[in-house]
Amino acid sequence: MIASGADRVGTAKQAYALVGYVPVLVRRVSTVPPAPVVLPSVWRSPLA
């Protein structure tokens, strides 16, 4: 990890200032997992 912060753009700028303009991966790291997302399925059961 080379930079941290609450704002993605600000964190990316901070990382670019440290390592130069190279590809960087910006991810959220937290002790609390994100809420699950439920996506509806387009497939229906033949018994429905």
DSSP H stretches of helix in the chain: 8-19
Residues 47, 12: Cα–Cα separation, whole Å:
50
Question: Tens digit of pLDDT for each residue in 4-18?
Answer: 888 888 888 888 999
What are φ and ψ of residue 31, in 5° steps?
-85, -15
Q: 23: pLDDT confidence band, cut at 50, 70 and 90?
A: confident
Q: 44: pLDDT confidence band, cut at 50, 70 and 90?
A: low
Closest alpha carbon to 4 in 33, 32, 34, 27: 27
Question: Tens digit of pLDDT for each residue in 28-40?
Answer: 777 888 889 988 8
Residues 35, 48: Cα–Cα separation, whole Å:
29
Chain position carrying tokens 């937290």: 30
Q: Taking residues 17-29, report their average pLDDT.
A: 84
pTM, two decimals, is 0.51
Where along the chain do its domains lie? 1-29
- For residue 41, pLDDT beyond 80: no
